[in-house]
Amino acid sequence: MTLLEVERLQASYGQVRALHGIDLSVEPGEVVVLMGANGAGKTTTLRALCQMPGLTVSGSVRFDGRSLSGVRTEHLAGLGMAHVPQGRGTFPELTVEENLQAGAYVRRDRAGIRSDMERWYDTFPRLSDRRAQVAGTLSGGEQQMLAVARACLSRPQLLLLDEPSLGLAPLVIHQLFEIFAELNRTDGTALLVVEQNASLALSIATRAYVIESGEIVLSGPASDLQADDGVRRAYLGF
């Protein structure tokens, strides 16, 4: 069964329509990239899928066979969908440890939660060293790592990632994408990724969509888009 099925998704900020009927899907275990210029509507697409406040949304969004219509944002993690929003994926007043615990709030398996937390501390030793530090005082890169780890603590079937590389050093970006690829390989977590560094995102992707002015204008296997001259010129910079 298709994991995420989106049909005719429209979204408006007040009177301003940002999405004009988007169709997209994510199969279980897929890595799907959403590409497009600044302002095309990538962030809005993820926000609309998560039923974020401030947006008027219409169309059909089905996740794991059920309609998300009327489902509140805070209930999505319990259904298996986690979102790492652009730049704001942590609770700044809580410590690193408390942020991770908060990420696992939908789970009851204490031992499993503990071992997952240790796994993420192994993955990001910088977070391990800062377990008792409040998230708001972490560096940008550390906060991004924490946001990803926190979202993964809910053990999502689908992780929505909005510009995870924003503001990070190249080395950290590569480390993060290796972790995404591994998460996908070992846990089978499906990813829907919005990423400025389209070339890097495509390198771990199964499929991609190109969005322009709130509409999907192109989609296909990641390898086809990587080879497409128009896509290379417009989004890959070569």
Q: Of the candidates 144, 148, 156, which has an alpha carbon nearest to the alpha carbon of residue 107?
A: 156
> By three-state DSSP, how is residue 7 classified?
strand
Q: Closest CB to ligand ATP among 37 and 227?
A: 37
Distance between CA 6 and CA 29 in Å, rounded? 17
The answer for residues whose C-beta is within 8 angstroms of residue 238's C-beta and 6 or more apart is: 232
Give the chain's end-to-end CA distance (angstroms, integer).
37
Q: Closest CB to ligand ATP among 18 and 127?
A: 18
CB of 14 to ligand ATP, least distance (A): 7
Q: Of the candidates 166, 164, 194, which has an alpha carbon nearest to the alpha carbon of residue 22?
A: 194
CB of 80 to ligand ATP, least distance (A): 24
Cα-based distances in Å from 219 to 26, 44, 225: 12, 18, 8
Q: Closest CB to ligand ATP among 41 and 164?
A: 41
Q: Of the candidates 84, 106, 80, which has an alpha carbon nearest to the alpha carbon of residue 162?
A: 84
CB of 216 to ligand ATP, least distance (A): 12
Is residue 132 within the footprint of ligand ATP (CB under 6 A)? Answer: no
Candidate residues 18, 32, 84, 222; the one interacting with ligand ATP per rule CB under 6 A: 18
Q: Closest CB to ligand ATP among 61 and 100?
A: 61
List the 158-162 sheet strands across, edge first. 81-84, 158-162, 190-194, 31-35, 207-212, 215-221
CB of 13 to ligand ATP, least distance (A): 3
- Which x/- pattern, by CB under 6 A, does the window 29-68 give for ligand ATP? -------x-xxxxxxx------------------------
Is residue 13 within the footprint of ligand ATP (CB under 6 A)? Answer: yes
- Residues of this chain that bind ligand ATP (CB under 6 A): 13, 16, 18, 36, 38-44
